Structure 1
């Protein structure tokens, strides 16, 4: 594998559910303990506790090979699912649980402070996302990339959309997780930063408002990682199909590559306003791949698949260099045929009108 390629890694938040009813199960601690025991020493980066007891988080090892990333995620999903099964619960890659939910806070001093500070936003939050870490050479490169990928990020919401249900009802959205997550005061798109100093100034000013307790609560759609030399893209839903997770990772890395090249060649930043970015993200969350999305370059609404084709063209050189073009083309062809996770959930519900069927179907697809 070409050592000049950027590494990419993925974190996935998974739902814990009762295996019979499909309702959320407050088993985060026991699942984590069982998963660590199965994964063995050095598994800290592969499985972690999450904000709510009805969740667990898994991760992949940074790699230059997206196909290997996909295969590792599949193995970790299955291993954690086996561990969860030994405790009497299932893991499911859905971004929201369709049943009515009253989630349980994981016992943790920081989480307790978050719950007290942010009230009902924290109390109701039970969403599962996918976070992609792409290697960067410097904070300067990272900020330059952040400023140049803003307009493309809503397309990752549309591609990953996997949360049509919330509190027992169909929301009408393909990715309602995006809407629920957006209630956090630091979540969402950002203005351009211009420089590393501008990036840190924006964060410090935001922290001064009390909208976040610390850097760990800076929930921008994309940010510099506080822990790793990576840029972290946070907009996608967790994907039901691990092949979609790999697709999103490949596109995210290609976006970073392409934006970095633009920066090095002196291409200007698109001054798209944050209000427009919010509107573009809303359209992606609302319609997924089944409606019109915003073409941020022309500020017009166009068919979703026309924008996905535009995204592929935008990052085509990077996809070829990274060896990801065939994987991306095959994955997109499959998505055109089967639909997103949200489409599959709705199709399963249409059979008998039972959320139990939706969760059990998603549990099976999670491990395929």
Structure 2
């Protein structure tokens, strides 16, 4: 009997005023209320800015259970925010102008002093997917083999077209803002767990970074859990898309691990080319062409998404997730990404405030 890998998700949410849609620096109050509501067993944590908060699910083998937990914590976040006079919205950047407020922790103050405006402007919300691995050696083998496909996940999750009240012309402007960190983005092949740890140590030895928590690769070994952590995605507007993201990431991890055990070498695509793929995915989402991972040549986005599904098909069949993944991809391609939905809402209402209000209602379910 095959053991199905566990998956956990971390989602970051914006705290906004329900009437104006403007981000509100209320995380301290919301976190206290969430802890009281949960009687001390809260899944929420503070983030870099006080206009956002984060929750983490438990590791799950069942994708339906994972989706239910995501919905539960979104609802709990909304309820706690409502007590504080706000609401939550699953958008990766604020459509409305905002002056972000750095959190009060010593670590956050250090980041603000060290990185200046880069830290100040990092009011962005991502989605991180953790998938269990048996060892660091297996984890690094996975990291080496999933690199070409990460840009497709970014395109599927694109949910940040607006920045300071303006359309950026990007589907995921969050990915461009996040790329300002010196340790972010795609990385080269590591070859082994020792190669990975040597690379991380070399970055830490520069003393540019505070600690291993600032290893912001698109995918990395978690420094807290026995997992591969894929960090490339925007937070998704629809919880169903978050569950789809988790399903596809687990499929990628399992497919890569099988390839490693079979002795198949990873694709040696250059980091510069991976950056081109990530830029294209952040720019267009699913609206235009993406770079096709096996060739790194532009192809229609829907074709590239289907190539991803084909790549992980065997793993999804074995975990029982194939039908749900096919349906989820069909729905997403038909409905469009969060960025597409936001632009449609603005076209219909003419108001970014109403865009935020509608997206907040969708976040609450």
Q: Match of 1:119?
A: 116
C-alpha displacement of 1:42: 3.0
CA distance in structure 2 between the aligned counterparts of 1:12 and 1:221, rounded to whole angstroms: 15
Matched, 1:365 2:362: yes
For residues 74-223 of structure 1, what are the structure 2 equivalents within 5 Å?
74-223=71-220
Q: Match of 1:29?
A: 28
CA contact (8 A) 1:9 1:62 kept: yes
Deviations 1:213-255 (A, max 9, x none): 1000110000000010001000000001000000000000000
Deviations 1:133-160 (A, max 9, x none): 0000000000000000000000010000
CA distance in structure 1 between the aligned counterparts of 2:272 and 2:104, rounded to whole angstroms: 37
CA distance in structure 2 between the aligned counterparts of 1:140 and 1:250, rounded to whole angstroms: 22
Matched, 1:41 2:48: no
CA distance in structure 2 between the aligned counterparts of 1:351 and 1:223, rounded to whole angstroms: 40
For residues 250-329 of structure 1, what are the structure 2 equivalents within 5 Å?
250-329=247-326
RMSD over aligned Cα atoms:
0.9
Deviations 1:237-291 (A, max 9, x none): 0001000000000000000000000000000111100000000000000000111
CA contact (8 A) 1:272 1:296 kept: no
Matched, 1:343 2:322: no
C-alpha displacement of 1:203: 0.8
Secondary structure of 1:312's match?
Answer: helix
CA distance in structure 2 between the aligned counterparts of 1:212 and 1:99, rounded to whole angstroms: 31
Q: Normalized against structure 1, the TM-score is what?
A: 0.98
Q: Match of 1:5?
A: 4
CA distance in structure 2 between the aligned counterparts of 1:237 and 1:65, rounded to whole angstroms: 22
Q: Normalized against structure 2, the TM-score is what?
A: 0.99
CA contact (8 A) 2:277 2:296 kept: no
Secondary structure of 1:131's match?
Answer: strand
CA distance in structure 2 between the aligned counterparts of 1:188 and 1:336, rounded to whole angstroms: 26
CA contact (8 A) 1:186 1:211 kept: no
Secondary structure of 1:174's match?
Answer: coil
C-alpha displacement of 1:41: 3.4
Deviations 1:22-49 (A, max 9, x none): 0010001001111111123332xx1111
Structure 1, unpaired ranges of 5+: none
CA distance in structure 1 between the aligned counterparts of 2:242 and 2:328, rounded to whole angstroms: 10
CA contact (8 A) 1:9 1:63 kept: yes
CA contact (8 A) 1:94 1:162 kept: yes
CA contact (8 A) 1:163 1:173 kept: yes
Secondary structure of 1:172's match?
Answer: coil
CA distance in structure 1 between the aligned counterparts of 2:166 and 2:118, rounded to whole angstroms: 19
Deviations 1:305-360 (A, max 9, x none): 10100000000011111111111111111112111100000000112321101100
CA distance in structure 2 between the aligned counterparts of 1:332 and 1:54, rounded to whole angstroms: 31
C-alpha displacement of 1:3: 7.1
CA distance in structure 1 between the aligned counterparts of 2:2 and 2:326, rounded to whole angstroms: 24
Q: Match of 1:20?
A: 19
CA distance in structure 2 between the aligned counterparts of 1:56 and 1:100, rounded to whole angstroms: 19
C-alpha displacement of 1:212: 1.4
CA distance in structure 2 between the aligned counterparts of 1:3 and 1:128, rounded to whole angstroms: 35
C-alpha displacement of 1:130: 0.1
